[in-house]
């Protein structure tokens, strides 16, 4: 799937991946690439992108409500208060990905971020949004990078502050999902938040 946007059953042209599963279509049309702000909302996306590492995004998308239940809606303060019993509960929760390293990173990140001033996570992440005028709209999926200079810099900045499990690829997926970049294809109906 490296071509341009293709029409869906409703006739709207979409990025090819957005038509590969019903769950993807809703996510593509309503969320992906739309600006996300707020520390808790960005914490959720950061955690989910970390859990996705090495897996298909559809796996995470289909378990997102399970993740939200398990991690108290991804409220940073709530997750920061989790203790050993919560960690064991998460490791046994079949509604999420039970990866010890990813769970531990989520808990450690919450404890770290709970000490940041309100708005600091949002400001840090969004400070790495590239100027959209410098980024041509991708015409095919082959034009969409997996890593950019900005995602590498964001990853380094987050790691320097102690955030775990956020490499350059994860950082770029976060940037795409949260609207820091618009990687909808040039002829996709969702390009530019349409």
User: Active-site residue among 24, 27, 128, 172?
Assistant: 27
Point out the catalytic residue in the list 57, 128, 150, 172. 57
Query: Active site includes 27?
Result: yes
Which residues pair with residue 158 across a beta bridge? none
Respond yes or no: is residue 49 known to be catalytic: yes
Contact 138, 185 (CB under 8 A): yes
CA–CA gap between residue 125 and residue 171 (Å, rounded): 9
| Catalytic residue selected from 44, 49, 150, 172 | 49
- Token pair in block for residue 100: 């010890």
Question: Do residues 61 and 142 make contact, with C-beta atoms less than 8 angstroms apart?
Answer: no
Report the candidate in 49, 104, 113 with the shortest Cα–Cα distance to residue 80. Answer: 113
Instruction: Give the catalytic positions in this structure.
Output: 27, 49, 57
């Amino acid at each position: 799937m490296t071509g341009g946007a293709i029409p869906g059953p409703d006739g709207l042209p979409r990025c090819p991946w957005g038509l590969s599963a019903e769950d993807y279509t809703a996510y593509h049309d309503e969320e992906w690439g739309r600006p996300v702000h707020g520390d808790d909302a960005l914490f959720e996306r950061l955690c989910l992108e970390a859990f996705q590492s090495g897996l298909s995004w559809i796996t995470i998308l289909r378990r997102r409500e399970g993740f939200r239940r398990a991690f108290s809606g991804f409220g940073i303060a709530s997750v920061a208060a989790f203790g050993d019993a919560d960690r064991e509960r998460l490791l046994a929760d079949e509604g999420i990905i039970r990866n010890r390293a990813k769970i531990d990173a989520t808990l450690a990140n919450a404890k770290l971020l709970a000490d940041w001033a309100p708005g600091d996570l949002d400001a840090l992440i969004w400070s790495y949004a590239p100027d959209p005028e410098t980024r041509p709209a991708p015409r095919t999926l082959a034009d969409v990078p997996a890593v950019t200079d900005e995602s590498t810099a964001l990853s380094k900045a987050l790691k320097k502050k102690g955030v775990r499990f956020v490499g350059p690829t994860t950082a770029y997926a976060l940037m795409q999902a949260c609207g820091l970049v618009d990687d909808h294809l040039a002829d996709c109906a969702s390009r530019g938040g349409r």
